[in-house]
Chains A and B, each alone.
Chain A
Amino acid sequence: HLATSLPLPSEGDHLRPRIDLIAFMIDIKSKYSLKNVEASLAHVAANFFLGKVCFLVTGVGRVNYCSVEMSSIWKLGEVYCSPVLYCELELERIRVATAQRLLRMLQICAGHVPGVSALTFSFLLRNS
């Protein structure tokens, strides 16, 4: 499910399946996207931050287009105890690899992988 900001509209509540993972996308070329994510984070229930949230930073291939300081994104990851992933949307290879990574994370967060909980997995991701 894709949304441009949170909270999600309440009309669709009863039709929406359970949410297992929230990936916040931040475009390093747009300060606005960071501000948007920061505002949306306030609408997320606290239990999601036990491994069911991650930050996906796009546009990192082009350093000279940076409008957002990487340190503010790392700080966000620290404050919200969630991993920061990087993706270059323009390259298909990386897009596919990132999508596979997210799917794997989703499987763990949904409890489909025995022996690995969302919390331990995110702990591993953040400390590697």
Chain B
Amino acid sequence: NLDSETTALLLRKRWALYSVTPLYKFSSAHLKAYAKLLSAYIAAEKQKGLAVQVGVELDIKVAISSLPDLKGSDQDEAAILVQLSLRSQASQKKSEEKLVWSGCFCSVCGDDLSKNVSADFTCLPVFLANGAESYTSIVGSWFQEIFDCCFHRLAISPLNLSWMAAMWTGCKVEENASAVELVFSVPNLPQPLDISYAIHPEDAKALWNTVQKTPGEITQEEVDVFMDCLYSHFHRHFKIHLSATKLVKVSAAVASAHCDGIIKFLQSQYIIEVLMLLTELAISQIQ
């Protein structure tokens, strides 16, 4: 189970998703040294004029730490957290630091990838980034240069989003849980049109319970039946075939995901489960 600090770091933030190939000769014993090197790299980029902040003399402080509880099995590497904070050069007080960017490398049940690579590589296929895109690309370039890895934006297909919709609907809902919301984008129109379909969480769960045969197990067939029920219900009322549109966003009490590769964790007890699914998606993109 995750401790509250890790949970607070991850919950309710908008994380951009990336898949990362294994890192070469990365060691969790040298995190402080890596932080210093990354800090120097960012300062150098700033000199080149590629920095984000202009005007005020602000330092970027880099902190790299390990999150040992953020993993699935013992074979998983402990997650690595990278944080960039802004600190005014005049003040050395820690309280005046402002966290501007966070990045997290993690792996939850990523055995499919780690069993095929040599011991020199560290497998942390999922990368979560929160903060300005410019910082993400600077940190990404540094890691790619030093550890010979590759970052790729992890998009989520409508097929995988429907899987998430079914999975998250089935999770235990507490009182006053938010609605299950599906957002569809309609193609081939002169003006873009988005359709938002919100379902009461109790109703959605009741539907899923009639579809799912074995608790704890989900099959593609069950996901298809679940989605077809939702589509035919919508068609009955609005005469629109949602199956001809593109599912772009799924939102439930547990988490929300967007096809561009954006995730938001909303309940602490399901963070690991969601990360497990993301690890699977990242690994299939890498392989």
A65-B259 Cα distance, complex, nearest whole Å: 9
Given the contacts A30-B243, A32-B243, A66 and B187 also touching, CB distance less than 8 Å: no
A13 within 8 A of B: no
A65-B155 Cα distance, complex, nearest whole Å: 9
Contact A30 B244 (CB under 8 A): yes
With a CB–CB cut-off of 8 A, which chain A residues contact B46? none
B interface, size bucket: 10 to 19
Q: Which residue of B lies closest to A29 (CB)?
A: B246
Contact A66 B244 (CB under 8 A): no
A127 within 8 A of B: no
Contact A35 B259 (CB under 8 A): no
With a CB–CB cut-off of 8 A, which chain A residues contact B162? 67
B159 within 8 A of A: yes
Q: Which residue of A lies closest to B155 (CB)?
A: A64
B73 within 8 A of A: no
B80 within 8 A of A: no
A101 within 8 A of B: no
With a CB–CB cut-off of 8 A, which chain A residues contact B227? 31
Q: Could you tell me the distance in whole angstroms from the C-beta of A8 to the nearest C-beta in chain B?
A: 21
With a CB–CB cut-off of 8 A, which chain B residues contact A33? 244
Q: Which residue of A lies closest to B157 (CB)?
A: A66
With a CB–CB cut-off of 8 A, which chain B residues contact A50? none
Given the contacts A64-B259, A69-B220, A35 and B157 also touching, CB distance less than 8 Å: no
CB-based closest 9 A-B pairs: A32-B244, A31-B243, A32-B243, A64-B155, A67-B158, A66-B157, A32-B241, A66-B159, A30-B244
> Footprint of B on A, CB under 8 Å?
29-33, 35, 63-69
Question: What are some 24 contacts across the A-B interface (CB < 8 A)?
Answer: A29-B187, A29-B246, A30-B243, A30-B245, A31-B227, A31-B231, A31-B244, A32-B241, A32-B243, A35-B243, A65-B157, A65-B158, A65-B246, A66-B157, A66-B158, A66-B159, A67-B157, A67-B158, A67-B159, A67-B162, A67-B243, A67-B246, A67-B247, A68-B159
